[in-house]
Amino acid sequence: MQDLKGKVAYITGGSKGIGYGVAQKLVAAGMKVAISGRTLKTVENAAQYLGDSKCVLALESDVTKLGDEKIAIKNILDKWGQVDVVLANAGVGHFAAVDELSEEQWHQMVNTNLNGVFHTLKASVEALKKSKGYYITLASLAGANFFATGAGYNATKFGVVGFTQAAMLDLRKYDVKVSTIMPGSVATFFNNHEPSEKDAWKIQPEDIGKLVLDLLKMHPRTLPSKIEVRPTRPDKK
């Protein structure tokens, strides 16, 4: 996919944070980009800063619902006729010792971070086979390294890494590329964080955007299937 001009991308959870940062880079590269989130107003507010309606589409879709994701993909196909890139990025995190983690927090993480990436794939896979496209999940270094208070989040992100690697083996025979990106700390709104200048040491959302562009431009014969990415120098506490 070396010429990205006119290619169509769908980014779940593109209203802010990493998804929004990736959308900015893809639009700047000449792509048509649909972004989604749970409330249309929030997504529309974000979309207006990305570009006009010729190249940006705002969608309300809750990834915990397969039906929502199917409608999102249908809307993209109705507008642009193809889907070349899907970034399953929407995610939430609750951090508490396992004996204190609530059932609601557990289910929200599993339904969003794990069931969500399956729903997004299920809804888009036939379109991706047609376009010989690219499906990318946003996992985390928490998908390789477990930590105290991370039981729920770790469980979902280890799951996303395993899911994505197996999906890669299933889909490469259709020339569909599949990768997972596993970032360390990124300066976003994750877990009610407010990004500030104190986050300068962290990966910035646009850095993940640049990484996605590099993946898309990779030679068709080569597939970096699992990418760990971390701040070069961790925070000095």
Closer CB to ligand NAP, residue 24 or residue 113?
113
Q: Which token pair is 58? A: 């705002």
Is residue 185 a contact point for ligand NAP (CB under 6 A)? yes
Helix 115-131 / helix 151-171 crossing angle, nearest 10 deg:
20
Question: Using CA atoms, how far apart are residues 115 and 67, in angstroms rounded to an integer?
Answer: 13
The set of residues, in sequence order, having a beta carbon less than 8 Å from that of 116 and lying 6+ positions away, is 12, 63, 64, 88, 90, 91
- Per CB under 6 A, 63 contacts ligand NAP: yes
Report CA-CA distances (Å) from 6 to 54, 152, 160: 10, 39, 29
Q: Taking CB under 6 A as the rule, does residue 138 contact ligand NAP? A: yes
Quick one: 63 or 168, whose CB is closer to ligand NAP?
Answer: 63
Region binding ligand NAP by CB under 6 A among candidate stretches 9-17, 50-58, 170-178, 216-224: 9-17
- In angstroms, give the least distance from the CB of 153 to ligand NAP: 7
Choosing from 4, 40, 42, 227, the residue that interacts with ligand NAP (CB under 6 A) is 42
| Residue 5 beta carbon to ligand NAP: minimum distance, rounded to whole angstroms | 26
- Binder to ligand NAP among 24, 115, 131, 140 (CB under 6 A)? 140
